[in-house]
Each structure stands twice: as C-alpha cells, then as structure tokens.
Amino acid sequence: MVFMIKFTKENRETIICAVIILLFVIKLFSLPADVERIREDGHESDLSHYLKISKWFTGSPPDESARTYQYPPFYPILLIPASFMDTVTFVLVLNIILGVLTFFPLYLISRRYTGFLQSVLISGLVITLNMLFSIKSYGYPMILTGFLFAWFIYFLPASLKERRSFYLASLSFALLLATKYVFFYLLPVIFIWFLYHKRHNLRSGLKNILQFGILPAVFFLGWSLRNILIHGLSMRGAIGGYDTLADNSAFLAIHVETIPSKLMSIFTCLEPNAVMIYFLLFFFSLIIMKMKKESISIEKWFLVLIFVIFFCFPAMTYDRFYLNWRYLIPLTPVYLVIAISAFFRSLFRGIQQPSPMAKSTST
C-alpha cells in the first residue's frame, strides 16, 4: 500500500533531502579508511598530470609533458583547491560529492518510467551499490563523467521540444569533452539522433546539429589553441599524447591480437565482469519488455547504439590484455537506473504511474 501514498511537493522534497543526507553519511563513513589505504599504497595514477594543469590555472609556469596536456581542463579546474590542502582527502571528498549529486539526474531519468518512491529508491541503490561510486583509483575523473553523462542522457530527449534542454544537453556534452576526449565517440549518436527525429526536414536536422556543436567546439578548440600556443603548432602540440591514436598502425589503437583476451577478461577479471553485468541487466530489461509486448522508446535504442560504439572502440583500445572497462563504467549508472526502473514498473504496474511532468519531458 505504500506506493499508493499521495505525496505533496513538501513531502517529496523532505524525502529527497533525507536520502541525499543518508547517501553522504554512507559515503563519508568509509572516507578515513580510503584515505589511509591510498597513502599506504602511494598510488597517484594520472593525478599528478591533472594537478600540473591545475597549477597552470593558478599561475604556475607550464611543466607539461605530452602525457600531461593530453587531458582536457575541466577536471583539473575542479582540482585547483587540492593545490592548497590535503590532496588525497580533497579528491576523495570531491568524488563523494559528485557521486551523491549524480542522484539527481538518475532520479529524473527514472521518473520518466516509474513512480516517485520507486525512483528515489532505485537512484539511491545505484549510487550506493554501483562500483563506479566506490572506485578508489582517485586519479581518474570517472565519477565526474558518470555525473555529466547522466545529465546528458536526461536532457537529450527533451532537447527536441525545449530550447533550454537543448542547450543544457549541448553543455553536458561540451563538459564531457572537456573532461575526457573519449566522449567524442558520442558524436555519431548525436548526428543520428537529430537526423532521425528531423528525417522529414533534413535541413532542420543539420541546423540542430550545428547549433548543438557550438559549445563543444568552443571548449575543444579553446583548449587546443592554448596547447598550441604553449607546445607548438602540430597535432601533438594540440592534443598531446593522444596524437599516437592517429599515428598508430592499429586502427584507432585497436590491437586485433588482443581482442580475444579482452573478451575473455569479461569472465576472468572482476572489473570487466561487473561492468558487463550492469549492461546485461539493461538488455535483460529490454527482453522482458519485448516478451510483454511493450513498446521500447527510441531513447533506449539509442542507449543500445551508445553501448555498441563504446564497447567496439574505446573499450577495445590499447595493447592490453583486458577490456578497458574504465571507458564503459561511467555509462553504467544510467543503464542500471533504466533497467531497474523497467523491473519495478513490471512489478508495480498500475499502482503508481510516472508523473505527468516526467512524461512530458520524454519523447
């Protein structure tokens, strides 16, 4: 009967605030042990490169190898305070804040498919249990990209009807590129998205694509110009170590001989296995919908396309024996929320429906 309760706006806000506080408490509980373990391991990973860029923003002379300035600037900007305080603690607290804030776009996505209480529960569970939000390899901005990708997926469907959502989707994509260049792989999906929905007016579709690309182009070209002014006019001067992707004899740095071991790592290595289970839950939810003869929204088919692109390209890059799960895991909170929302909707069909406002934002 709990799902039949009618909530006022004040009730909803109170419940959401309580869940946010609870998530913060859960995440902060493990902070001291995480800080101590990282200090004992002495493992900084890519953090030193990000911090060098952060110091440039505070006025320090550039001290950058091609490996350093291959990274875009958004994450280093967020790390600027780490130059003036305990770095390990700041980065882990930043991860906690970004992880908890990811609750909001996940909740809004879930509200398109199910009711209020279910959406709160589902989003809270994903933040608590998804491996992304427990990663202590803190030099990577994976949680930040998970946060931005969730907003991108939330705003994109509404971008066809609302100019505000259109520009927020563009901003989300621009910030994704300003965090990790791997999100250039979203470009084909964005092109197909607008051309498909404007297939009866291709001129309008192309216009939308050009307008959508203004902010991402400004972010990317602005940082590339900065790099060229410091490091010289060349491909390497513009994008640093990523120029090896163009020079590599393997197509997009995909080493075909490593593909069998990458696929095998899905079954033999913990991280690739966990990440693929998240995606399998999403595909299992689509199968259930098909079995129940429910229609699958176009947004979900585009998520299938995004998975295929990221699995076939960035996840298969570099001469490594294991699947590059780090390029896949920022996507998983969105896929998990949609999958679990589908399961909840099947279990509680007819008890509580998505809000009219949530429905109006979907295509």
Query: Has residue 17 got a pLDDT over 50?
Result: yes
Averaged pLDDT, 137-165: 91
What's the domain range around 114? 10-360
Task: From 68, 18, 74, 16, select the one nearest 47 (Cα to Cα).
Answer: 68
Which of 7-16, 119-128, 167-176 comes out lowest in average pLDDT?
Answer: 7-16
Averaged pLDDT, 143-167: 95
Query: Cα-atom radius of gyration of the chain, to the nearest Å?
Result: 21
Averaged pLDDT, 4-28: 86
Average pLDDT, whole number, for the chain? 88
Averaged pLDDT, 287-307: 91
Give the residue ranges of DSSP H helices in the chain: 9-29, 31-41, 47-57, 66-69, 74-78, 87-101, 103-111, 116-129, 142-158, 163-177, 187-197, 202-212, 214-231, 235-239, 243-247, 259-268, 270-291, 298-312, 332-347, 356-360
pLDDT of residue 37: 76
Which of 54-58, 266-270, 357-361 comes out lowest in average pLDDT?
Answer: 357-361
Number of folded domains that form the chain: 1
Between residues 90 and 354, the one the model is more confident about: 90
Is 2 inside a domain boundary? no
Is 5 inside a domain boundary? no
CA dist., res. 195 & res. 68, Å (int):
37
Q: Give me the percent of the chain exceeding a pLDDT of 90.
A: 62
Write out the two tokens for 220: 């990317």
Is 122 inside a domain boundary? yes
On whether the pTM is more than 0.85, the answer is yes
pLDDT of residue 45: 67
- Give 43's pLDDT tier (boundaries 50, 70, 90): low
Is 4 inside a domain boundary? no
Is 291 inside a domain boundary? yes
Query: Has residue 308 got a pLDDT over 80?
Result: yes
- For residue range 53-70, list pLDDT tens digits in order: 999 999 888 888 888 889
Is 26 inside a domain boundary? yes
Is 325 inside a domain boundary? yes
Is 24 inside a domain boundary? yes
- Give 244's pLDDT tier (boundaries 50, 70, 90): confident
Adjacent-strand bridge partners of 254: 317
